[in-house]
Amino acid sequence: MAKNVYSVAQVNRYIKNMFTQDFMLARIYVKGEVSNCKYHTSGHIYFSLKDESGAIACVMFAGDRVKGLHFRMQEGQKVIVLGAVSVYERDGRYQLYAKEIVPDGEGDLYLRYERLKKELEEMGMFAPEFKQPIPLYSRKIGVVTAPTGAAVRDIMNITRRRNPFVQLILYPALVQGENAADSIVQGIRTLDEYGVDVMIVGRGGGSIEDLWAFNEEKVARAIFECRTPVISAVGHETDTTIADLVSDRRAPTPSAAAELAVVEYRQLMSGLELYRNQLADRVEQKILQCRQKAEFLRLRLQQASPEYQLREKKQHAADLEDRLRRTMEQKLIERKHTAALYAERLDGMSPLKKLQQGYSYIEDETGRALTGISQTAPGKMLKIHLADGVVAAKTTAVYASGSGRKESDGREDGR
């Protein structure tokens, strides 16, 4: 028994890796007749491609159908499938995983489309840095499309509804047939020279043959070289042309292109009203600030004038005079009050006041006021001053205060 034994899953995985690493099988075009075509509820499509010599199982996942399939496949229909060949590991069978499918009659055009797309992409014509911004407020809009048909009617209706003041300038171009590409190029260059604000280039939906003029290199270069921003609106949302890739903005439909190019009038007026109110508020605020500054400068100028300075000095002198007068009056009142208090106190200390209260004072014969008993003696004459007059008296005896002892009565013992 051999040493290296592999499981079925390992073998299938190994074979799948071999398929994955094969450059040719990673991106391959396969032509054949559709057989056993089934549209699953999940959105996937399961079918086979066959010819007179063999068949290959195919699957197209729902996520690839949006961009890769623009028609409904029928049994027996001949198609060209772009995809990758790989192994479905669970069943151990290989199959073609489809990315894009076109009818066999359109196969040559599709291959030309892919080659031109790759060439222009390598030249950088799809690069974001070359995209011009679409003006927000366009007044003149150029339109390159057929003069009749749904596309021009949709653009006119949307424009009229959104902003009736926008001017549409139509270049009636051929959008299908042998001379369509030259007509579209001439329309783009004419409107670019005319000086419109933005340009819509497009047409309604159709087959790849109908839309082929918008896949021509001359149209792509005219759009790329245009100084005016270009909005492409070719076919339906699922159609993608070279013109869509090189234009400044791609719209899924002509109606959507008109909505991109034309700002809604009511929205514009609402924005203008908002700006008007903001501007009025700022102007009013600025006027108020200027008035306040003018008043401040007027006061500064007024205060700097000699007349104002003299008036201020006079007022200051008058204030000082008034303060001095009030201070002096207050001081005078205080002094009067103090003098009255002192007078009252002096009056209370006056000898005459004491005499009126029943007190008296005594003088000796020489007029000296007596302050003690030692200053007199019995027989001495005294003057007793009372409130209403003087009493002449003679000392008959002298007594010490509180003792009751006679000091002298003026007579000798035995007399």
Question: pLDDT per residue over 151-183, tens digit each?
Answer: 999 999 999 999 999 999 999 999 998 899 999
> Could you write out the DSSP letters of every residue in 165-211?
TPEEEEEE---SSTTHHHHHHHHHHHHHHHT-SEEEEEE----TTTT
User: Which residue type sits at 141?
Assistant: I
Task: Kindly give the parts of the chain with pLDDT less than 50.
Answer: 410-415
Query: What's the pLDDT at 345?
Result: 83
Query: What's the pLDDT at 119?
Result: 94
Query: What's the pLDDT at 414?
Result: 40
Structure tokens given for 344: 């009252």
Q: Are 155 and 258 in contact (CB under 8 A)?
A: yes
Residue 52: other Cβ atoms inside 10 A: 5
Query: What's the pLDDT at 200?
Result: 97
155 Cβ neighbours under 8 A, 6+ residues apart:
143, 145, 168, 200, 254, 255, 257, 258
Tell whether the torsion through CA atoms of 251, 255, 257 and 259 is positive or negative: negative
Whether the full predicted model's pTM is greater than 0.95, yes or no, is no
How many CA atoms does the CB half-sphere of 257 hold within 13 Å?
Answer: 36
Q: Are 65 and 45 in contact (CB under 8 A)?
A: yes
Q: Are 101 and 79 in contact (CB under 8 A)?
A: yes
Structure tokens given for 60: 């197209």
Structure tokens given for 408: 């002298």
Per DSSP bridges, beta strands 55-60 and 361-363 are unpaired
- The domains found in the chain, sorted by start residue, are 8-117 (2.40.50.140), 138-263 (3.40.50.960), 355-408 (no CATH)
User: Which residue type sits at 300?
Assistant: R
Read off the pLDDT of residues 122-156 as tens digits, 9 standing for 90 and up: 999 999 999 999 998 899 999 999 999 889 999 99
Read off the pLDDT of residues 196-242 as tens digits, 9 standing for 90 and up: 999 999 998 877 788 899 999 999 999 999 999 999 998 766 668 99
Q: Are 200 and 214 in contact (CB under 8 A)?
A: no
